[in-house]
Amino acid sequence: MAKSGFAAGQLKSLIERIERLEEEKAALAADIREVYSEAKGTGFDVKIMRQIIRMRKVEKADLQEQEAILDLYLSALGMR
């Protein structure tokens, strides 16, 4: 009984921590939306900003490889 009581307490603690983190994540997402809205209001293209942020997360070598393949495909389609 003591062991299951401990497990239940531990489970409750973990669930509560996850709930707090989910609340923090939602608040951060709202802050990010606000920054994008501000950027859009000052004339920046938010779609391109999001693309740049995705690109900055990729290793330089991987990004170069992706760009080379994209260029190859665009050339094959007569788009370059």
pLDDT tens-digit readout, 27-49: 999 999 999 999 999 999 999 99
Query: What is the DSSP secondary structure assignment for residue 58, as one 8-state letter?
Result: S
Q: How much is the pTM?
A: 0.70
H-only helix segments in 1-80: 2-41, 46-56, 60-76
Average pLDDT over residues 47-72: 94
Distance CA 12, CA 19 (A): 10
Distance CA 27, CA 21 (A): 10
Query: Minimal CA–CA distance to 67: which of 47, 11, 58?
Result: 58
